[in-house]
Amino acid sequence: MGHVDHGKTSLLDALRHTKVAEGEAGGITQHIGAFTVKVNDRQVTFLDTPGHAAFSALRSRGAQQRNDGVMEQTRESLRMIKEANAPMIVAINKIDKHNADVDKTKRMLLQEAIQLEEFGGDVQCVPISATKGTNLSQLVDAILVQTDLMNLRSEGKGPIEGVVIESKVDPGRGRLCTALVERGVLRKSSILVAGTAWAKVRGMFDHTGNPLTKATPSTPVEVIGWRDLPSRPKMAHQIIQLRQNMEMTEKQKQDEEVIKTKMDDYNKEYKAMLAEKRKQGRYKIRRQGPRQKEIVDDDSIRHSVIIKGDADGSVEAILDVLDTYDCHSPMQDGCYSLWYGSCVHLLLWATRVGDISESDVKLAEAFQACIYGFNVAIPEKLKPLCKELKVDYLLTNIIYRMVEGMVKDIEKRLPQK
């Protein structure tokens, strides 16, 4: 974990390459979200940040060179590590740069209360260069030292347990997921349960695409054979354990209650805020065609929408297109009126950047809104949720198609002749 552009991807690439260079891997290295590096007779597994690709895509708009010590996302990472009570190892990257100042970075770490080893603490720190490959083996060694200190062992026997790292639908191979085995030995025909999905393992592959007959603890594998797409970060359990999990504890019930209340409060606040904005005036948009000067009355038809785009710029472009629907006097932002035969209010609840997320779906449900996505995707695992919550969405790569879709959806709401 670390700040954007500090070299996480480069480091993973360099480590991946290490393995290929050792000649262990046949085939082409694939991206499955996790891979292993062998050191003597031991193996270290590295995980990519989930959804890393999406973030990289966002970032690539303005790839910047950064070399600025402890930054905001580093602090965020430190908080997360602390919360998870997980051990950490610091890699100070880009030491090949002429202006690299390792000591300064160490001082910054000290200011964040990171107890580095050389100052009497227990946090190992390795200065590296991802692009030059400097000190990579030292970094891997540091990881092994850490595991030795913690005496990490895994159970190779008994029920299989693991975590789902990523899941997707592959056009050729069907539903599959990358999972990390944590306990037991995964074999062909093993039965796995993840949330409400299950699989009889039809095949397993390592990150180079090579088929595996078994996967021991700490091995990341791609598993095919899922009947549904695993959507919860939990794989395989004894059935009994599953049943136990299903019986919610009193504490969990209370937590659920808290979340629900929070969501209700949030909705109330949101509605109040909108009502307030509504008082401040209106912003009318007329569909191209003969100008109509009716007064918008509050009984008119409403169509609630949430707009998602792949970038701020594209969301703006969509709003620009909506603006071509001839706006009259300024109305509150977030509420457009489309004249379409009769007047239709287009209530824009949110514009957001990125793929459709669970919170978008929840928001859409709360406001009975339809989600329109431009150049974004909806994760497979959210589709059942949309169905369950009756949330409609339209994804397209062409802006006018989106507007067309909106108009069609509005037509559906107009009184039938």
Residue ranges that bind ligand GDP, judged by CB under 6 A: 2, 4-10, 63, 65, 93-94, 96-97, 129-131
CB of 7 to ligand GDP, least distance (A): 3
CB of 228 to ligand GDP, least distance (A): 32
CB of 10 to ligand GDP, least distance (A): 3
By beta-carbon proximity to ligand GDP, the closer residue of 138 and 154 is 138
By beta-carbon proximity to ligand GDP, the closer residue of 12 and 366 is 12
CB of 46 to ligand GDP, least distance (A): 13
- Token digits of residue 300: 């008119």
Q: What is the 3-state secondary structure (H, E, C) of the chain?
A: CCCCCCCHHHHHHHHHHHHHHCCCCCCCCCCCCEEEEEECCEEEEEECCCCHHHHHHHHHHHCCCCCCCCCHHHHHHHHHHHHCCCCCEEEECCCCCCCCCHHHHHHHHHHCCCCEHHHCCCEEEEECECCCCECHHHHHHHHHHHHHHHCCCCCCCCCCEEEEEEEEEECCCEEEEEEEEEECCEECCCEEEECCEEEEEEEEECCCCCEECEECCCCEEEEEEECCCCCCCCECCCHHHHHHHHCCCHHHHHHHHHHHHHHHHHHHHHHHHHHHHHHCCCCEECCCCCCCCCCCCCCCEEEEEEEEECCHHHHHHHHHHHHCCCECCCCCCCEEEEEECEEEEEEEEEEEECCCCHHHHHHHHHCCCEEEEECCCCCHHHHHHHHHHCCCEEEECCHHHHHHHHHHHHHHHCCCC
By beta-carbon proximity to ligand GDP, the closer residue of 93 and 105 is 93
CB of 49 to ligand GDP, least distance (A): 8
CB of 104 to ligand GDP, least distance (A): 16
By beta-carbon proximity to ligand GDP, the closer residue of 63 and 191 is 63
- Token digits of residue 265: 């409060």
Angle at 186 between CA 50 and CA 38, to 5 degrees: 65
By beta-carbon proximity to ligand GDP, the closer residue of 7 and 162 is 7
By beta-carbon proximity to ligand GDP, the closer residue of 96 and 122 is 96
By beta-carbon proximity to ligand GDP, the closer residue of 87 and 133 is 133
CB of 127 to ligand GDP, least distance (A): 10
- Number of other residues whose CB lies within 10 A of the CB of residue 38: 13
By beta-carbon proximity to ligand GDP, the closer residue of 9 and 208 is 9
* 232/163 Cα distance (integer angstroms): 9
CB of 8 to ligand GDP, least distance (A): 3
The contacts of residue 268 (CB under 8 Å, 6+ apart) are none
By beta-carbon proximity to ligand GDP, the closer residue of 10 and 146 is 10
By beta-carbon proximity to ligand GDP, the closer residue of 2 and 230 is 2
Q: Say if residues 414 and 342 touch (Cβ distance below 8 Å).
A: yes
CB of 232 to ligand GDP, least distance (A): 27
Tell me which residue has tokens 């709003």.
319
CB of 6 to ligand GDP, least distance (A): 5
